[in-house]
Amino acid sequence: MEEAELCFPQLLNTSCRRPQPPHSEALFVYILLFFISLLTATLNLLLIISISHFRQLHTPTNLLLLSLAGSDFFVGLLVIPVEILMMGTCWVLGDVMCALYFLLPCTLISASVGSMVLISVDRYVAICDPLRYPTRVTVRVVTAAVCLCWLCSVFYSVFIMYDHLNRPGRYNPCHGECVVNMAGDVDLAVAFVIPIAVITGLYIRVFVVAVTQARAVRAHAAAVTAGYSVTLTVRRSELKAARTLGVLVAVFLICYSPYYCLSMSGSSILIGSSTEAFMSFLMYFNSCLNPLLYALFYPWFRKAVRLIVSLRILQPGSCEANILSRH
């Protein structure tokens, strides 16, 4: 009976105990997490299809949203389901696969943070230097920046996990668990403190400039020249985009701060522990909230979803649809 409760009965002295079947409350939590996983993958896939398919959405800002949606999609498709399974089953893939697996969430989280920084830079240039924005922030420049962001995320993940890749399983208390320990100080600085400082600084500047421009728009709302009316419309559009992406960044900070604040307190977080699991699911939940924010603030996303769900994107020439119109 005791051997039946072990992950590896043949390893009596070194095997972990098999997790108990979930009770009713835990089962409800598992079902809820799987639903969040499915919703996260579905909503982000819809966003990826929208920006990729409709030519009118091929803008620098939307390419940054596409990068963020890509990382969020894989969080919902791969990371959350595996995390849920790890909570209720034994790890049977070995120490090497344990170390390799955690490269995935580390890379995706790093790419998400990098995308947020790029989004902040994009809004900063659009609001604070609007005349040179079209020439400085082009699709080619943003594509190169996104590729560099993902490349750096991969290298950073390998660097932060190098000790475990070199000596896999060193933190596993027994066979059947998958636990790794992050380089807390490095991860705290590179993945949280520095990006948050950059994002906060840029958005404070954007907020100050946006308030000034909003007052100017209201003061000259009675302008009758067509050219100036177009200028006001463009300025309002940029200000609305800045506010929307500001909300996106604020939600990002709310979801990511608890994990790194615990690190700042000096506590050591074992990846694979119950504390880390809760903090991680809070970070992963941000991947579900992002497309919900797009649906709330971006009418073009809601229109694109209707076209995708109704399969009208399969019609010839659908990529040229006027997705930005309100009618």
CATH number for the domain spanning 132: value is 1.20.1070.10
pLDDT-based confidence at residue 141 (cuts at 50, 70, 90)? very high
In a domain, 325, yes or no: no
| pLDDT surpasses 70 at 240 | no
In a domain, 101, yes or no: yes
In a domain, 300, yes or no: yes
Q: Of the segments 11-15, 94-98, 217-221, 300-304, which one has the largest average pLDDT value?
A: 300-304
pLDDT of residue 263: 63
Q: Are residues 42 and 305 in contact, defined by beta-carbon separation less than 8 angstroms?
A: no
Q: What is the CA radius of gyration of the chain?
A: 23
pLDDT-based confidence at residue 1 (cuts at 50, 70, 90)? very low
In a domain, 233, yes or no: yes
pLDDT-based confidence at residue 234 (cuts at 50, 70, 90)? very low
Considering only CA atoms, which of 305, 281, 272 is closest in space to residue 90?
A: 272
In a domain, 196, yes or no: yes
pLDDT of residue 182: 64
In a domain, 303, yes or no: yes
In a domain, 6, yes or no: no
Give the bridge partners for 270, in sequence order: 181
Give the count of domains, the chain: 1
Distance between alpha carbon 146 and the CA centroid of its chain, in Å?
14
Q: Which amino acid is at 164?
A: H
pLDDT-based confidence at residue 164 (cuts at 50, 70, 90)? confident
| pLDDT surpasses 50 at 48 | yes
pLDDT-based confidence at residue 154 (cuts at 50, 70, 90)? very high
The predicted model scores a pTM of 0.83
In a domain, 9, yes or no: no
Q: What is the mean pLDDT of residues 67-82?
A: 92
Query: Average model confidence (pLDDT) for the chain?
Result: 81
- Structural domain that includes position 197: 23-320
pLDDT of residue 206: 80
pLDDT of residue 226: 47
